[in-house]
Amino acid sequence: MKRQVKNNVYWLGKLDWELEEFHGSDYSINHGSSQNAYLILEDKKVLIDTVWRPHTNEFIDNLEKEIALKDIDYIIINHGEVDHSGCLPYLMSKIPNTPIYCSANAVKSIVGQYHHPEWNFNVVKTGDVLPISKDKSLVFVEMKMLHWPDSMATYLTGDNILFSMDAFGQYEAVAELFNDKADKCLLMEEALKYYANILSPFSPLVKKKLEEIKKLNLEIDIIAPSHGAIWRDNPMQIVDMYAKWCDNYKEDQITVVYDTMWEGTMKLAHALAEELKEQSPTTVVKLYNISKTNKNDIMTQVFKSKAIALGSPTVSKSILSSVGGWLHFLQELSLKGKKAAVFGCYGWSGEGNKVLREELTKAGFEVIDQEEKCSWNPREENFENMKNIAKELLK
Ligand code: FEO
């Protein structure tokens, strides 16, 4: 069912209440999601993006209630990923000559996925303009690496709407559709989770892109992303948050992360969390067992932290595989300007801390010298040493 965004602009997407993961199983979804497509009914009838392929029938049914497919003048594809381009094969089988406006890289991604080089692609780049009525036009803005090389945003003059694609979105089903009606805390937390887990590797590019968009002097009344709520109340608040997040973001928070075999490393983790709180009551302290909490939710907290402490027992001259996999993901995120400490129990050889130290350094963390390498189960002196680690992390 379509819903009005502003004047002749309508949301026509899929509120995906059942969705639990994205990018295979690499991104967890806790509150559903949406794929937002938009229909502009000016002199020219424009469809901006579609939805994920499994929802094609529902999407096309809804679309045909608003417009005969043959009356669609232009299709804008801001990004070729399947959650937005998924209905193209069906649409193009019905209206094969309809022009598709997209970036040069999107032609590559769409042809690569659907194998139809004969579709009527029209490549656009930043600043290109497509008039759609006497006084309204679409202006294209390439958004390379936010988060794919093909990503693009489309700006509608007159209504001052920026269709920003994945950027500024949240993986959350927002029945209320607009940010002023939604749960504001959840909205910002989901926007942050998306940034931390998907966009943080590209933070230097995000920074440059935000500066470039600023220079375009676009008057923005609404930011309409491809997932989650549409920002119509103070839309620049999410741009301001992105400006902070892309610039080595950290809050007064320390996150303790660990896995454990026989609870020794767990006891050290708990002791460190207590010590951090004791020494700095105002610092937010979080603690997670890697095997029990979803990695994306932990990474969101790591992203907010000024420092982390990571614990694993030694296993076969290395660390637990849960911690190894988690560290691999951490390295992908390219976080900067954060401290780390390592700790863990061992029975025989005790290489765990060295491995943790090396992998955290590769992930871009400044690993402090103080550590806890605990033989068998922790004793009083091991817990006592947590005072030194906490003190150094809090410096
Ligand atoms: Fe929402 Fe990059 O797809």
pLDDT for residue 2 = 87
Here the tokens at position 55 are 């929802």
pLDDT for residue 214 = 86
Partners of residue 311 on adjacent β-strands = 258, 343
pLDDT for residue 98 = 98
Q: Return per-residue pLDDT of the chain as tens, 395 residues.
A: 789 999 999 999 999 999 999 999 999 999 999 999 999 999 999 999 999 999 999 999 999 999 999 999 999 999 999 999 999 999 999 999 999 999 999 999 999 999 999 999 999 999 999 999 999 999 999 999 999 999 999 999 999 999 999 999 999 999 999 999 999 999 999 999 999 999 999 999 999 999 998 888 899 999 999 999 999 999 999 999 999 999 999 999 999 999 999 999 999 999 999 999 999 999 999 999 999 999 999 999 999 999 999 999 999 999 999 999 999 999 999 999 999 999 999 999 999 999 999 999 999 999 999 999 999 999 999 999 999 999 999 99
Q: Of 16, 49, 81, 142, which one is the catalytic site residue?
A: 81
Tell how far the Cα of 225 is from the centroid of ligand 1, in angstroms: 10
Told to judge if 194 belongs to the known catalytic residues of this protein, a careful annotator would answer yes
Residue nearest to atom 3 of ligand 1 (CA): 81
Q: Of 42, 142, 150, 166, which one is the catalytic site residue?
A: 166
pLDDT for residue 217 = 87
The full set of domains in the chain, from first to last, is 3-245 (3.60.15.10), 255-394 (3.40.50.360)
Q: Is 79 in the pocket of ligand 1 (CB under 6 A)?
A: yes
Here the tokens at position 259 are 């896995």
- Peptide bond before residue 147 is cis, with ω within 30 degrees of 0: yes
Which of 341, 394, 337 is CA-nearest to residue 370?
Answer: 341
Told to judge if 166 belongs to the known catalytic residues of this protein, a careful annotator would answer yes
pLDDT for residue 215 = 87
pLDDT for residue 272 = 98
Contacts of 16 (CB under 8 A, 6+ apart): 32, 33, 34, 35, 52, 55, 173
pLDDT for residue 342 = 98
